[in-house]
Amino acid sequence: MSNYQKRSKTELAARVAQDIFDGAYVNLGIGQPTLVANHLPAGREVVLHSENGILGMGPAPVPGQEDYDLTNAGKQPVTLLPGGCYFHHADSFAMMRGGHLDICVLGAFQVSSTGDLANWSTGESGAIPAVGGAMDLAVGAKSTWVMMDLLTKTGECKVVKECSYPLTGLACVKRIYTDLCTLECTPDGLVLIDTVPGLTHAELERIVGLPIRK
C-alpha cells in the first residue's frame, strides 16, 4: 500500500517556481505551466514572456477583473506588471528563436530519458495539429523544463525510453517536474532530483520502468 501523496497542480506549480532564478526571462506554455505565474516567490524578479507578444506578465487576474483584450497564448486573461509591454508576434518569435529566453516551461505527452520531447500531437486520427511555438521554444530557450503528471489517465508513464508520439525536439528537455518527482534528463539517462515524501527510489523506478540514478 502506498504511503505517499501526489503533488496537487498548485503544489507542482510552486515546486517549479521555486527553481526559477532571480532575473530570469521565462516563457510559460499553455496549460499547467501558466499556473507557475501565481507562485513565484515574493521579491524574486522574473520576467514572463508570452509567444503572442507580451513581456512582463503578472499573476492571473482577480475573478471579475479579467481583461479579455489582455490574454496569453492560451487565450487566458493575464495581468501586466509595471514596465510590461506588447509587441508584434514576429518579434516574440525572434526572442524565442534567438536564445533570449532563459527558461521555458512546457507541458508534454511524453519525454524520453535523454530529453526528447513530444508535446504537440498524439497522432490520433482526426486530431488537429497544434504545435504552435513549442518547437521554437524547445530548442530556442537556454533551458527547457517540462511540467506534467507522471502518468496518463490510463496509468501509462509519460517518461519513456523512446517517444512514440511525433517529436517536438531532440534532447532538449533538461528537467521534468511531475506530481510524484522531479527528474533531470542527461545523455546517460534520468537523474533523481526529488520525490514526494514517502515515495521510495525503488517504487519510483518501478512506476517509471527505467533506471534512475541518485
Check if the beta carbon of residue 204 is closer than 8 Å to that of residue 180. yes
What residue type is 96 in one-letter code?
Answer: M
Q: Give dist(CA 2, CA 85) in Å, integer.
A: 48
For the question of residue 51 being annotated catalytic, the response is yes
Q: What pLDDT was estimated at residue 129?
A: 62
pLDDT at res. 74: 84
Average pLDDT for residues 186-195, to the nearest whole number? 97
Q: How far apart are the first and last CA of the chain?
A: 24
Buried b (16+ CB within 10 A) or exposed e, 178-188: bbbbbbbbeee
- The domains found in the chain, sorted by start residue, are 9-208 (3.40.1080.10)
Task: State whether residue 77 is helix, strand or coil.
Answer: strand
Name the residue type at position 209.
G
CA angle 114, 29, 77 (to 5 degrees): 170
User: Exposed/middle/buried for 134, CB within 10 Å: 0-12, 13-18, 19+?
Assistant: buried
User: Which of 203, 156, 149 has its CA nearest to residue 176?
Assistant: 149
pLDDT, average across residues 89-117: 96
Catalytic residue among 11, 45, 51, 66: 51
Query: Cell for 151?
Result: 502518468
7-65 residue pLDDT tens:
999 999 999 999 999 999 999 998 899 999 999 999 999 999 999 999 999 999 999 99
pLDDT digits (tens, 9 = 90+) for 55-99: 999 999 999 999 999 999 888 999 999 999 999 999 999 999 999
* Integer Cα distance of 123 and 172 in angstroms: 21
Report the chain's mean pLDDT, rounded to a whole number: 94
171/185 Cα distance (integer angstroms): 8
